[in-house]
Every structure is written in C-alpha cells, then in structure tokens.
Structure 1
Amino acid sequence: MGRGRSCRYYRLLDYQIRRCYVLIGGVNMSFTLKPAIKDNFIDREPLLDEMITTLTNRKIDMGFALIGPRRVGKTSILREITHRLANRKDVVVVYFCLWDLVENNLREFSRQLIKTLLVGFRGRISVKYKLKRLLQVPVETIYEFLKATGISLRILDEIEIELRRKDRPLDANMLVERIFALTEELGREYRVRVILIIDEFPSLIDLTNGKKLGEGVIRKIRTVHETLENTVLCISGSIRKTMEIVALSSSSAFYRQFIIKRIEPFDELLSGQLLEKNLKRRITSSAIEAAYNLTKGIPFYLQLLGRQLERTDVEPINKEVIERVFEEILTEEGDIIFSEEFYRLSDRERATLRAMAGMEKSKLNEISRRLEEGANVVSKYLAYLIIKGMVRKEERGVYKIADPVFSSWLKEKFR
C-alpha cells in the first residue's frame, strides 16, 4: 500500500472498528489493527533476541534490513524492538516511518526526523539539566533549549537556515550530512548508541525536492554511513524491487552493509495461537485451518479477522463461521483497505489484476488471452505491477498477486 498507509488506512479502519464497538455495546476487544507490541506481540522471539543483542553491542557496526510483503509484521518487529530497549541507559532508539509523512518531500522528512530524534532524547536532556518540565514541553522548546546550551548549536543552525530557504531546492546532501551529524553529536554528548530505525527506507527515493531525489539520496546516506561511530542504522522495505536497489543487489549502495532478515507470514500453528490467545473462546482445528488458508498467515488479516469474530457470539467457532466472517470483511472493509491503492493504477494495470484475481498462480499466456492483448504488452503491465509490489514473478512466465486477501477482494468485487 502507498505511503499514507499508517496514517490513512489504519485511521479509516479504526473508525470502522470504533463504530462497531459502539453498536455492540462496548466489547473489550483484544485484537489490534495497529502494529502489535507488548502483550499483543506474538512469536518472532529468536529474531528479536538476535536484533537486541546485535544492536546493543558497540563492537558490531551492522544494523538490520527487514524485507517482507506488506502487512506481514515488519513494523510490529521494529516497534517491539523500540519498546524493549526504551529503558536501556546505553542506547536511544529512534523509530521513523516514511509512510507516516503528510507531505512527501525532503523538507517535511527532515523536519519530522529531527523532531523524532529530539523526542527520543527528551528524557536524557531533562535528567542532565534537571529540568523535568522538558518532558512535557513541545519539541520546538527542546530545539531552542539545545541551541541555548550550545549543544549541537552549529549543526542545528545550519539545518534551520537550510530548511527556511524558499528561493531554490534544498541542498539534499548537506541536510543528510547535518542530520546524521546531529545523531552522532547527541550520541556522543549523552554517551549512548543511537539506533536509528527507518521504516520503508526505499521510499526516500520518491521524496521530492523540486523533483524526485532518486537513488542519489541512498548513495549519500551510504557515504555518511561509513563514518558513523555512535549511530547504527536499521531499515525495512516491503517491495523487493526497491530493496534490491537499496541493499540486496550487488550493485546497490548498501550491499552487504546490513544483516538481511526476510520476514514471512505466520504458519498455521502460530495463526491458531494468535486467534486462540485473543478470542478466549474455543475455535475448532478446521476453523484455524480455514483462517490460515484465507489469510495465508498474514498477521494484519488475522487481526482483522479476529476483531470481526469478536462481534459474533458463536461457540465453538467453526469453519463455516470463519468463511462467513471473511466474506463480510471483503464486503464491509475491503473497499476501505484496497480501493485507493487499486484505483491509483492505470486502466490496463487494473485490468491485468482483475484477470489474475482469485487464481493461485497465473500464466502469462492465460492473462494475455483474458485481456486479448499480446504477451509482450502484458509483460510490460506485469513489470510495472512488480515494481509497485502488487505482483510477484514466481518463475518464467508465471505470476501471482502478492497479497492473497487483495486477490480475494478483486475476485469478489468484479465477479
């Protein structure tokens, strides 16, 4: 889904759920459509242990790159890391998601990243200067306080002057250098390691500054990355093609600079554990199997299915209930989740997806036959959809829609 995912889709979904909450009289719902952390977090413990051990070890200068399809749980992992390290005295974790930006440009990115960085250090600044009021004041006040005390004065002044410029595009290279210099200086001043997490990192390429920044901004960050002593970088990405540009390909800027972790959906056992833990009602083995087959173990859809199941009073929950509730989700929530993403595509891209809808795998010649287009033309549409993360190429001449629930929604909507 596009860059407004967290602030747009989750907000719309939560509105629907709040409406259901009111209609059914205030059920205590335990499923969540936001990134799952704390008690809502399930499994991934070996990965979390490895990440925490590595990131807090100053002798290791490599961060992690998480790659996996949308809604598979990458953000939950990164948020859980942030939560578990929050009280450590030797590290400051700064989590920032590019898909949360309201304006998709360099100026907004720079301002919001600096604000997030200062929020991360708010507690340490207040302790050092014995000013508890800094815990409640706006970020802008912390910014001015740091300047007044001389900490990072030159860096903050340079950033501020550049961000105020209106007569020309911003100096992207200078801003990248100064922002990372700020993280380094804060880490040095407070004797901590800064763990900078940038969720959906490849989206930096699409930031505008008069025009799109392109791969140059990734190369610049890579150059700065080599000099970091107090900062370790972690990233994630949902679209394999863009992650190849950033870190996976031998020609990419960050090739072999991260510990690569591929995040997969839950298996049937973990899918069942998630549902059983939160439903607090008996659910049959055939129902768990049906839930897994319909969602393919993608945590977001399991959570959504669980929240809808909480509206029912059937016990035990059986296969028929799962299938009925899943159909309701496609009808009631599907448009909210998928419509904007779908209708942002070109006419031919939408037609290509409709031709593939509901099929586990689609052969190129079959798609061509359904569209009444030549294979060479259809191959171009498929290539565009692969770049956008909506289609995967399984093998030569064989493709599938990346998101199985999106595929089910297409089949339901356009049957």
Structure 2
Amino acid sequence: MQKNNTQTKRMTSIARKLHRSLIRKKISMYTGFDFLLFVLLLVGWLASLEYHTFGKFILSYNRYFHIPSGSTHWFRDLVYIVSDQKEKILLKVPLADLIIVLCITTGILFLLQLLFICFSYAKESKKIRRILAPINEIALKADELSRMALSGDKYQQIEDAISHLHPEEAELLSFGDSDLQGIEAAMNNLLLRMRDSQRQQARFVNDASHELRTPIAVIQGYANMLSRWGKDDEKVLDESITAIQNESDHMKHLVDQLLFLARGDSGKTQLSLELVSLNDLMNEIYEESLMIDENHLYRFRPGDSVCQVQADPALLKQAVRILVDNSAKYTPEGAEILLRTGQTDEGKPYLEVQDSGIGMSPKDVSHMFERFYRSDEARSYQGTGLGLSIARWIIDRHNGRFEILSRTELGTRIRIILP
C-alpha cells in the first residue's frame, strides 16, 4: 500500500510540473503578444498622424523621441518629433496621454487573457490528470508489472524519462528497453493528445485576442479623434459616440460568449432539466422573430405529434435562437426562413431551421462548429464565429446531434435531433 501511495504522489508531481510549464508558456506568449500589440498601435497611430499632417508619409524626415533636458518627469514630458533635413521641427507630439491609453488597452487585454487562464485552470488540471491516469494505473498494477519482471532500475528509468520531458517540445519518450515498449507507446500516445489539446487552447486564445483587437482599435481611434478636434465638431462627436457604443456592444457580446464557453468547459454551467414541449418552444421563437425582424418572412410548421423532451428550456432556446439569428444574417431581405418541429424516421424528436441564404460549401460545413471559424463568404457579415460553437456545446450536453444540409447560393437546413 505504501508503494502504491508513493507511485501516486510521483504521478501527481509530474502532472503539476506539466501544468505549471503550460501556464508559464501561456503567460509568456500573452505578454509577448500584448507588447507587440502596444508597439504596433503606437507606431500605427504616429504614422497616421504624420499622414494626416503632411498629406503623405515622407521617409526622408528625421524622427525621434525626445525628453527636454532638466526634466524631472520624463514620462510626462516625453514627445515625438519629426524634423526635416535642416533639423527644422515640423511636428511635435506629446506622448504621455497616448501611452496611458495604450497601457490601459493592452492591460485590459492581458487581464482578459489571465481570466481565461483562471477559467481553464481546473479543466486543464483535470485533463492532465485524466491523461496521466492510465500511466498511474499501469504503475499501480503490481501483478501485471511483476509478470514483466520489471526491476527497481526500470521503474527509475520511467520516472527519469518523464521528469526530463519538456511538454512544450515535440520530443517523445524513448526508454530503449524492449520490456517497456508497451508502456512507451501508451505514454507517447497520451503526450501527443495532450499537446494537441494545448495547441487548440493556444489557438483559441490567439483568435480571441485577434477578435478583441479590432473593437479596441476602433474605440481608440475615435477617442483620439474626439481628443483632437471632436469636442467642437458636433458631427464628429455624434459619429464617434455611435461608433464607440457599437464597438463596446460588440466587445461585450464577444466577452459574454467567451465567458459562456469558459464556464461550460470548466463544468460550471449546469443544466436545469424539465419536460419541454418542442412545439411550444419553437412557436415562442417564431413569435419573437416576427416581432424583432420585419425584414424576413418567417413560417412555422409544428409536428403532427406532441414532441416533448427532458431539456433545459433556456439553453435549448438559446441554441435554436443562434440558428435563427444566423439564418436572418445570411438570408436576403424578404426571403423565407422556415421553422419546423417533428420526429425522424427513428422516432427521435427534432427542431429545424431552414433558410434560403448564401449557403455553405462542404468544406465549410465540416468546420462550422469550430470556435472563431468563419467561411470566406461569411466574413463580410458582422459576427464573432462563436455562436455555433455555443449551440453545439448546448446540444452536446443534451446528448443531441446536428444534421446539416447546405448548398452554396441555395441555403442551409440545420436540424437538431434530441434523444
């Protein structure tokens, strides 16, 4: 029993080391990205200011940062200077306020990134332990290991190989021992799966940062415009306020979606199951669509039989609402959007949304539920690329599945089949 406890402690220590290494790498990656974003925003703003001042960007001008001699507050007195070849100052820009805005902007982004790490901490830890669990089980099965005649040296060989493994590198375990080939293959398979999961999470964070960068840049641009001349120009003031409000709403919507997925992945979103009538649920969505969207022709065809399932009505409605909103977004004005309920040939209840919009190619259909994925045709429409990911998470938790039929320029039919 004492030996088994020792093996378990060793596996726990390895899991902690792997998790700490992944977190350190994430924080380092986020810090580098935010610093690069800070520099790019600063350079872009200064280049834009020169272009608006001189009418074009002149490479031959001298550019430098300057702090007046004898200054006791270098940050407050820091200026950006553009001069010609005769050292005549053509543009002098104080940078203190701009740097403060950029620091706040990148600081908010960094806090969001840390928030994502916090939300995913428990899930990552659980996943690493689950991945390493078979190794721990192998180590604890003394009867199976005894048949392999493993000596204490071979146990030490396994532990040393795992301890010296760097999770961020592509290397695999190699014991160089024929007795350990089975364990070696199993552990390498687990390592590959763990690294693939880490790459997916890193891509998710990079995509989220990219999506947040656009509204932040727009808000910053209009804020700078207001600071320069918008206070006295009513037209510029109204335009800036409208743009800032729109981008703030877009950012709030994106952050809400990110938090929903983060809470779902960490197991904090629980379903409140009750008996739900699919006809009543779809009819409610139909009536709401008629009220909030007058640009499309909505039709509802309820199923002949009474379709009732055990489900979370709020989450199930959210999933269908996502499908309806997508149909409205990609369907021309005046075109029809059909809502339907019914039962499959196998007797399983379903909810269905069908439109006559832009449709999707088979390649796009295979990726449509991936987070932040948007087809080339859909990129001209406003969106975050997270709605369908949320819908899939909800339906997966209900043990349901999707059936998609889509043709480019003809439209899309998405059916949610529930157990």
- For Structure 1 versus Structure 2, the TM-score category normalised by the shorter chain is under 0.3
Larger radius of gyration: 2
Greater RCO structure (CA 8 Å; 6+ sep): 1
